Amino acid sequence: MCRGGGWSVNVRIAFQGESGAYSEAAALRFNSAADVVPCETFEEVFSTVESSKIGYGILPIENSIGGSIHRNYDLLVQHELPIVGEVMLRVTHQLLAVPGAKLEDVKRIYSHPQALAQCERFLHSLSGVEIVATYDTAGSAKLIRDQNARDAAAIASARAGELFGLSVLASGIQDFDENITRFLIVSRSATPLGEPDKTSLVFTLHNDPGALFKALSVFALRNIDLTKLESRPIRGRAFEYLFYADISVNRQDLQCARALVHLAEFARSLRTLGSYASWKEPAVAESAVQVS
């Protein structure tokens, strides 16, 4: 599948993690012909795109169970890469182990903190098992494969299990079936990948009574739907906050432009992080990408 105009068959997308990571699956869901490039950290995704080595980067930003990935909110402000697209990916977690291992053998379970948070009920049902947070789900699968750790398991995707030759001890272990992660696509170019109908902003306010109410009213007065509001502390300025907002309108829409001018009148700072096409599920189910 290829969504959005301007994508070429040799487009390259950087993602955080090993092959088999959910970020890789999300990138291929957006463009099944993409050349996906693994990076060890989210910071490396940004620096790789900024250095012109890779055209796009993909970042998980929030999960329907685990909530927001705060590090990536911070990185969006620290870097100047506009958001040009988004992807929604349904996530199904597997408990993976080396062939021959049994669930009762497992003494340690490795995975990314978000995946661990999404499987809390399953993990709490186990006794005498150490939970170890790592940098990546697929990387955790690779770790136990490389160590041939028969007393360890990893929470990762079915594809990661296939790539690293692991067996499934338990399937669908996330707390809720509706486990969906939203990803953002960033680029050096602000050209959106598709027709924009969504805009992401970040702003700061003076610490005055009703300041946030006034800020949000600029959208309500113009019947603009606010779909996300997130606050993050401003580093070095104790108990002062950045506010991230997603609104369901193109930045070029007249009502949006007026709302932002209105907001700028009393906001301490205001920046548009990107205007892009909101994710729409394909009409026909894709078979080329295994996302579970």
Map out the domains of the chain as residue ranges: 12-91+179-187, 94-171, 198-276
Residue 206 has pLDDT above 90, yes or no: yes
Separation between Cα atoms, residue 47 and residue 61, nearest integer Å: 18
Whether 94-171 and 198-276 share one fold: the answer is: no
Residue 261 has pLDDT above 50, yes or no: yes
Residue 237 has pLDDT above 80, yes or no: yes
Task: Classify domain 198-276 at the CATH class level.
Answer: alpha beta
Over residues 62-91, mean pLDDT: 96
| Predicted TM-score (pTM) of this structure | 0.90
Structure tokens at 264: 């700028």
Catalytic annotation present for 42: no
Q: Find the catalytic residue in 122, 183, 203, 219.
A: 183
Residue 148 vs residue 288, higher pLDDT: 148
Q: What is the pLDDT of residue 99?
A: 97
Q: Find the catalytic residue in 134, 137, 181, 199.
A: 181
Going by pLDDT thresholds of 50, 70 and 90, the confidence category of residue 281 is confident
Q: What is the pLDDT of residue 1?
A: 40
Amino acid occupying residue 235? R
What's the first-to-final CA gap in the chain, in angstroms? Answer: 17
Decide if 58 contacts 21 (C-beta within 8 A): no
Look up the CATH number of domain 94-171: 3.40.190.10
Q: What is the pLDDT of residue 53?
A: 82
Over residues 205-219, mean pLDDT: 95
pLDDT mean across residues, the chain: 92
Any alpha helices (H) in 157-229, and if so which ranges? 158-163, 211-220
Three-state DSSP at 70 gives helix
Q: What is the pLDDT of residue 282?
A: 76
Q: What is the pLDDT of residue 8?
A: 52
Which fold is adopted by the domain 12-91+179-187?
D-Maltodextrin-Binding Protein; domain 2 (3.40.190)
